[in-house]
Structure 1
Amino acid sequence: MSFNEFRSILPAPQPEIETLEAHQVARDFYREIEYRQDFKNYCQWYYETAQRHRDELQKMRNDFNIFGWFLRGRR
């Protein structure tokens, strides 16, 4: 049997089903957009936080080491 013969056996698509399918596709599409935007926002926050931590670490390395004074007496 060819494909056209099978099409004659199958019922015609119902408009309600097509509408629901289109609605589901639209929901999935917008859900994907929201997911990607949330991920992009998270990545932006992560990189900014990591940079801030690197800056703070560099600042701490340049600070005067008071704790080292206490360790000198123990050696």
Structure 2
Amino acid sequence: MEYWRQCAHWLIRCRVLPQTHRVTWETARAFDLAQSLRDGVLLCQLLNNLRPQTINLKEINLRPQMSQ
């Protein structure tokens, strides 16, 4: 299995991505995972899942303005 798919499945097991996320689709590419992670919100949620209360999630902008 490709590393990016392993990472996506790990993020699902960590409850950061839902089991039905597009990265699980047969047609998914590494780009899809990168797009999901690029604003950093999921990474902040992951950190809080691994080490609770590390980041105050209320201070995170859940709708960041990212250029493509």
Report if TM-score (shorter chain) is over 0.5. Answer: no
Structure with more of its chain in helix, by fraction: 1
Larger radius of gyration: 1
The TM-score, its normalising length taken from structure 2, stands at 0.25
The TM-score, its normalising length taken from structure 1, stands at 0.23
Higher RCO, 1 vs 2 (CA within 8 Å, ≥6 residues apart): 2
